[in-house]
Structure 1
Amino acid sequence: MSEPMSDQLDASPCQGCGACCAYSSNWPRFTIEEDDALDLIPPELVNDRLSGMRCENDRCCALDGEIARAVSCRIYAIRPEVCRICMPGDAECAMARRKFGLPALP
């Protein structure tokens, strides 16, 4: 039997949220990555300007799952720096969660 969703959310708030990955098509922008790191990201997930992740509407195309329920990143191990610096409960997290009507994390 699988764990109840509330237990999964308590264990990993990001995998039960995903709001930061669907906040804005301008958010997953490349900034300080080395070219070698960017070359690891599959080309179909990079936007046409080569400046960030490809999005459908505001949602990053590397995000799988349902916002506020269960999500995962298809390229988590090689995700860009902007994705690495957004931390659970920080100002960016709170802003993204507000967009989806989710409460801020402690």
Structure 2
Amino acid sequence: MSCGACCAAFRVSFDRSELASEGGLVPDGLADYETSYTARLRGTDYAQPRCLALVGTIGQQVSCGIYRERPSPCREFGMLAEIGVFSEACNRARARHGLPPLEIAAE
């Protein structure tokens, strides 16, 4: 990947059932508990968030250290980008890092 802005712009909350200790895939060491039902990826709950699993330089070359184990919000966001469908959320994330907007698909 060459962007990675979404990994350093949003809080990533997900159902605790996605944690490895609960039978899911997300490594427990990369998550904090929010409630009895939800967890969030470490590093994403700050004024300037950056997921601890993000490796590299945003806008240049990045990768996800837990790509195969990433939680559902990351899978859903990434699925749209893989097929070239970019959202306003994507462009907000890009703007936070000084990257130009991408063309948003017509609805």
Q: Same fold (TM over 0.5)?
A: yes
Do the aligned residues in 2 keep the contact of 1:30 with 1:81 (CA within 8 Å)?
yes
Paired with 2:13 and 2:89, the residues of 1 have a C-alpha distance of: 14
In the TM superposition, residue 94 of structure 1 has moved relative to its aligned partner by 0.9
User: Which of 83, 89, 93 matches 1:92?
Assistant: 89
Do the aligned residues in 2 keep the contact of 1:47 with 1:55 (CA within 8 Å)?
no
Tell me the secondary structure at the aligned position of residue 20 of structure 1. helix
Identity %: 39
Query: What CA RMSD, in Å, does the superposition of the two structures yield over aligned residues?
Result: 1.9
Do the aligned residues in 1 keep the contact of 2:43 with 2:50 (CA within 8 Å)?
yes
Partner of 2:4: 18
Partner of 1:47: 32
Paired with 1:44 and 1:78, the residues of 2 have a C-alpha distance of: 12
Is there any run of 5+ residues in structure 2 with no aligned partner, and where? none
TM-score (norm 1): 0.71
Paired with 1:61 and 1:29, the residues of 2 have a C-alpha distance of: 14
Is there any run of 5+ residues in structure 1 with no aligned partner, and where? 1-14
Q: After TM superposition, what 4+ stretches of structure 1 lie above 4 angstroms from structure 2? A: none
Paired with 2:27 and 2:75, the residues of 1 have a C-alpha distance of: 18
In the TM superposition, residue 38 of structure 1 has moved relative to its aligned partner by 2.2
1:38 and 2:23 matched: no
Q: Which structure has greater strand proportion?
A: 2
Do the aligned residues in 1 keep the contact of 2:19 with 2:26 (CA within 8 Å)?
yes
